[in-house]
Amino acid sequence: MKNIPLLFFLLTLPLLNAQKLTNQRALWFTDARFGMFIHWGVYSGAEGYWKGEKLRYDNDYAEWIKYRNQIGNTEYLSLLDNFDWDSIDPEEWVLLAKKAGMKYVTITAKHHDGFGLWNSKASDYNIYKQTNAKRDIIKELAEACKKHGLKLGLYYSHWIDWEHPDSWDHSKEITGLSKETYSRYWEQKVMPQMRELLTDYGEIGLIWFDMWIHHSETVVTKEQLLRLKKMIRELQPNCLINSRLGLSVEEDRDVDFQTLDDNQLGYAKKEHPFQTSATVAHSWGYHATDSKWKSTTTLLKSIIGNVALNGNLMLNIGPRANGEIPKDIEQRTEEIGEWLKVNGESIYGSAAFGLRADMHDWGKLTYNEDTSKLYLHIYNWPLNNQLKLTGVKNNPIRIYQLADKSKAELEFNHHEAVTSIKLSKTAPDPRVSVLVIEYNATPTVENDLVAYSFSGGYSLKPNNAIRSKGDASIIEAQKFGSIPEHVQFDQESEFQWKIYIDEPGQYNVDVSYSSQEKSANGKVTIVCNGSALKAKVQPTGKTVGEPNTDWHIDRYVAQKMGTFEFTQPGYYTLTMTAEPDKDKPIKFQWLWLEKVKN
């Protein structure tokens, strides 16, 4: 009997959230989806330069200046002279986060420089003790977050600390550092400071650690990490912990979310929560010459793309030493906020959908399990104002634009596994437009299908085939893509695809390949619905990759194979057999199926 509550809990868990492996305490986080990262500290006073010299490293992370330019502890603090205390107001950062539609704010309580933004008893190297202004930025930010209803997160650099003599900075790879010496730092600074942060500032939503390699490769021991985690759990049972604690989510499911590499967007659907931390340009701390600003559309797609894979995005602002947020960041975050005000329903509380995430080339899907609403994020509004959703088997109840308050219904046609939607002439949003499809239950999906492309047909490629015979290893695109992704057939090989034809009629079939044969001896056969198209493989020769560089590459050409007649809507399988001539490989790229225009 004792096990029943646990069993009940385990059974209900998947119903509560689409991400099956989410810890209960992280449900707010997977609902929130979008947060703000703030890198602000002594380094903000340097703006990427020290005594006229630019930061000594190409990646230009301005918050690394103390280490990169070898600045001593005391001298480094001279940068605090650049701070304008009267104009620094953390509430303004929180207000921007709110405007941007962000649900949590994570600030660098202590970055690698070892300098705390609060009145720490455990180390005097902090903002309160080292300035006459006597500010406790963590306290101010905690109050502002509370006032405006946002969760507070704290970045804390546990592994690296360039101030404490017994801690780790990378020069110790040369001098060596014993675990015993390091543990002095751990006990004197990390544990007491973490205790302060978790005790004196109210509810902490998450602690964001920053050890980006596994503990086994560092001076930190697993025992130290587990003890730190235990203390967090005891002091604040609801506080989330990220994987840069040094323990991966695979190693310890109790770690609440995975932190991907800096600016690394999601690449696969994950059942355990993950987050990308992203910058608007490049540096995290304010950098005077950072200028490669990502556009608002790019940032929006980063959020959407991550949610479509069950992930979050935390976007960084690096305020200046006077607290000011760079205009280029402010403008973009506000624009994201405007978009979210209209379209936020497709992001907050939404997650990945059951279909393959890369199935449609026109955009991304997110899904809300509680409401059975599917959101179609259209990155590229089709010129013919027709959109096909492939792979969903249920009949939609209704379809409308999320931006349309009146929810005017769009005309659609549903055939077994394809929903064709008639769009308005112009996109409701110049960046990303969202359609809502309402279902009466979580729809059943067909993941084997090749989706209908926005180019107006079916693109059958090695990576969307359901079956293959022979060596089907995909050879990645090379030479800047001038040699496209392909599969090399050295012997008789086969690929099979599944499509759903919702518009019967005659379909042209093209095959794209390269063959370096001298004469046409190889063969390709495509079989579908009882008929076969056969062709000899033609020599395609070479082409020029880049003029005047002797860059001569295999030429890939699309050859017309003929037409297939589909008299009925339905599922069809298409099988392609390639028979290369002896020792003369066929480099296969794709098949293209397109309806013949009447």
Provide the binding-site residues for ligand GLC, judged by CB under 6 A. 39, 61, 63-64, 210, 212, 262, 277, 284
Give the pair of three-digit tokens for residue 588.
């296969």
Which of 125/284 has CB closer to ligand GLC? 284
Output the smallest distance, CB 269 to ligand GLC, in A: 22
Output the smallest distance, CB 557 to ligand GLC, in A: 46
Q: Is 484 exposed, middle or buried (0-12, 13-18, 19+ CB in 10 A)?
A: middle
Output the smallest distance, CB 175 to ligand GLC, in A: 21
Which of 157/401 has CB closer to ligand GLC? 157
Output the smallest distance, CB 260 to ligand GLC, in A: 9
Output the smallest distance, CB 210 to ligand GLC, in A: 5
Which of 24/171 has CB closer to ligand GLC? 171
Which of 284/564 has CB closer to ligand GLC? 284
Question: Between β-strands 34-38 and 104-110, what pairing exists: parallel, antiparallel or unpaired?
Answer: parallel
Distance CA 209, CA 90 (A): 21
Q: Which of 317, 377, 401 is nearest to 102 (CA)?
A: 317
Which of 63/448 has CB closer to ligand GLC? 63
Output the smallest distance, CB 310 to ligand GLC, in A: 20
Output the smallest distance, CB 45 to ligand GLC, in A: 16
Which of 61/590 has CB closer to ligand GLC? 61
Residue whose tokens read 């109050």: 143
Output the smallest distance, CB 208 to ligand GLC, in A: 8
DSSP tag of 80:
G
Which of 107/537 has CB closer to ligand GLC? 107
Which of 282/523 has CB closer to ligand GLC? 282
Distance CA 353, CA 19 (A): 10
Give the CA distances from residue 192 to residues 196, 200, 235, 407, in Å, rounded to whole numbers and listed in that order. 6, 12, 12, 55
Output the smallest distance, CB 136 to ligand GLC, in A: 21
Q: Which of 397, 383, 376, 293 is nearest to 335 (CA)?
A: 293
Output the smallest distance, CB 592 to ligand GLC, in A: 42
Which of 277/540 has CB closer to ligand GLC? 277
Q: Contact, 391 vs 475, CB < 8 A?
A: no
Q: Contact, 257 vs 273, CB < 8 A?
A: yes
Distance CA 28, CA 37 (A): 17
Residue whose CB is nearest to ligand GLC in the complex, by number? 277
The helix/strand/coil state of 142 is helix
Which of 61/588 has CB closer to ligand GLC? 61
Give the CA distances from residue 418 to residues 401, 493, 509, 569, in Å, rounded to whole numbers and listed in that order. 19, 30, 20, 10
Q: Which of 434, 439, 369 is nearest to 397 (CA)?
A: 439
In sequence order, what are the beta bridge partners of 150?
none
Q: Contact, 36 vs 105, CB < 8 A?
A: yes
Q: Contact, 516 vs 584, CB < 8 A?
A: yes
Phi, psi of 180 (to 5 degrees): -65, -50
Which of 208/375 has CB closer to ligand GLC? 208
Output the smallest distance, CB 64 to ligand GLC, in A: 6
Distance CA 566, CA 554 (A): 35
Output the smallest distance, CB 39 to ligand GLC, in A: 6
In what order do the strands lie in the sheet containing 531-536?
Answer: 467-469, 493-501, 570-579, 523-528, 531-536
Which of 171/567 has CB closer to ligand GLC? 171
Distance CA 294, CA 289 (A): 15
Which of 37/185 has CB closer to ligand GLC? 37
Q: Contact, 315 vs 36, CB < 8 A?
A: yes
Output the smallest distance, CB 263 to ligand GLC, in A: 8
Sequence-distant (≥ 6) Cβ neighbours of residue 232 within 8 angstroms: 194, 198, 207, 239, 241
Give the CA distances from residue 530 to residues 304, 526, 534, in Å, rounded to whole numbers and listed in that order. 42, 10, 13
Sequence-distant (≥ 6) Cβ neighbours of residue 369 within 8 angstroms: 17, 18, 351, 442
